[in-house]
Copies of this chain bind each other. A is one copy, B any other.
Amino acid sequence: MAKNRTTKDKLAWTAAKLFQEKGYEGVGLSEILANAKVPKGSLYHHFQKGKSDLAIAAADFASREMLRVIDDAFVPAPDYETGLTTLFHKLAKLFDLMGKWNGCPISGTLLTGAQNAVFRQLSEQIFETWITRISQHAIRLGIPENEAEDRATHLFVTLQGGWTLARARSSSDVLRTLPRYLT
């Protein structure tokens, strides 16, 4: 039972990493299996619909990670501006650690490939979760309630675009310059 959870988590974690780097269609199941050191036949016990279920699990995993990073940045912050600045710097550091090929894990996993309504819908839902979480931190840190969601959306959009440009430039620098536009 413990072994089971390990296998399933290992697969989701490995898939999340690879999808973020190469996109959903850019990664083969055999590559995921090899990286996770899990034999071919095992996958369909844990993810009945195969690759697409795995992508959903990977996106869930990555989303939870992102929420943790958001919390880590905002919880100790004295105000919203400090929180968002910390967030961008944390993500810039992550970008440097993970290799120059990584962008937004949700976009990479759910929005890079052939049209898939379920993926699109899940990506929307996850993004709204992020925006809501940022918005809650904003309110807690003194931003007026009627402004909070707009500012959170603005932050999210800036982050997404910055990630893409950082990836194209193979440099996290731009991420560190963006907070200035959000204050």
Contacts and interface: CB of A to CB of B under 8 A. Distances in A.
User: How many copies of this chain does the complex contain?
Assistant: 4
A149 to B, nearest CB: 11
Contacts of A165: 127, 153, 156-157, 160
Given A113-B26, A113-B112, A157 B162 contact: yes
A174 interface: yes
Given A112-B113, A164-B107, A168-B123, A158 B158 contact: yes
A115 B168 contact: no
A124 B181 contact: no
Query: Main SS of the interface on chain A?
Result: helix
Given A21-B115, A112-B25, A160 B170 contact: no
13 contacts: A21-B115, A23-B113, A111-B164, A112-B112, A120-B167, A120-B170, A150-B177, A153-B177, A154-B181, A156-B165, A157-B158, A157-B164, A160-B160
